[in-house]
Chain A
Amino acid sequence: DGGITQSPKYLFRKEGQNVTLSCEQNLNHDAMYWYRQDPGQGLRLIYYSQIVNDFQKGDIAEGYSVSREKKESFPLTVTSAQKNPTAFYLCASSTYTGSEVLTFGAGSRLTVL
């Protein structure tokens, strides 16, 4: 079945460490997105990408980095510069940017110890 796979589902990190969250899709979607979800704050856009080797900052990109070397993959690195990284991270994809329905992965929950 086509869909988006995020891994790991749960991740614990010590302060000062970088971590990378994986996002893979087999839907042949052009656009991919990373959102951060915190209780009561909804989903906030971190980065998005419309095509391979190109990506744009969202509203809260500071402390995060991404790459888009393949159409199906859009990994997110949470760097040590992110001051409050504990959150639920959601990856999504769509056929076009925003005008179409987003397909979401199941999410990755990052906890900083």
Chain B
Amino acid sequence: AQSVTQLGSHVSVSEGALVLLRCNYSSSVPPYLFWYVQYPNQGLQLLLKYTSAATLVKGINGFEAEFKKSETSFHLTKPSAHMSDAAEYFCAVSDLSSGGSYIPTFGRGTSLIVHP
């Protein structure tokens, strides 16, 4: 079964600073990779998706993620944090389950805190 590890349950940055949220997965075969964002008491929204077309994926709100096969990583970055970026971020991976279907697996989430 696929596993997703997000390093750090909380990440704190100052407004304007670089944001780096880490995600590692366990599959030996490149799966489908996603980053979602969740604001309090809401559902999740897609930030970006890795489609195998390019290793650097650009998403909404200035976020991007780089797929590194050798490191089985898909870290999320943003050059300059904004107060509105404060939220919970989830990395997700889809690969073939034993039943032959792609099933999404989520990491435990990283709470991004942005200080003025």
Stretch at the interface among A14-22, A36-44, A60-68, A76-84: A36-44
Tell me the dominant secondary structure on chain B's binding face. strand
Report the Cα distance A87→B104, complex, angstroms: 20
Q: Pick the contact of B99 from A44, A56, A99, A106 — CB < 8 Å?
A: A56
In the assembled complex, the CB of B2 is this many whole angstroms from the nearest CB of chain A, namely 10
**B58 in the interface (beta carbon within 8 A):** no
Q: Are A98 and B102 in contact (CB under 8 A)?
A: yes
Interface size class of B (residues with CB under 8 A): 20 to 34
Q: Which of B57-116 contact A (CB under 8 A)?
A: 90, 92, 94-95, 97, 99, 101-109
Q: Are A98 and B34 in contact (CB under 8 A)?
A: no
Tell me the dominant secondary structure on chain A's binding face. strand
Q: Are A40 and B94 in contact (CB under 8 A)?
A: no
Against B, the Cβ 8 Å flags (1 = close, 0 = not) of A40-59 are 11111100101000001010
Most A Cβ at <10 Å: residue of B46, B49, B102? B102
Q: Are B102 and A96 in contact (CB under 8 A)?
A: yes
Please indicate the chain A residues that have their CB under 8 angstroms from the CB of B92 in the complex.
102
In the assembled complex, the CB of A59 is this many whole angstroms from the nearest CB of chain B, namely 8
* Interface residues of A, count at CB 8 A: 27
Q: Are B103 and A40 in contact (CB under 8 A)?
A: no
Report the Cα distance A40→B107, complex, angstroms: 10
Report the Cα distance A90→B42, complex, angstroms: 9
Q: Are B90 and A107 in contact (CB under 8 A)?
A: no
Against A, the Cβ 8 Å flags (1 = close, 0 = not) of B1-40 are 0000010010000000000000000000000101010000
User: Which B residues have a C-beta under 8 Å from some C-beta of A?
Assistant: 6, 9, 32, 34, 36, 41-46, 49, 90, 92, 94-95, 97, 99, 101-109
User: Which A residues have a C-beta under 8 Å from some C-beta of B?
Assistant: 4, 6, 33, 35, 40-45, 48, 50, 56, 58, 90, 92, 96-99, 101-102, 104-107, 109
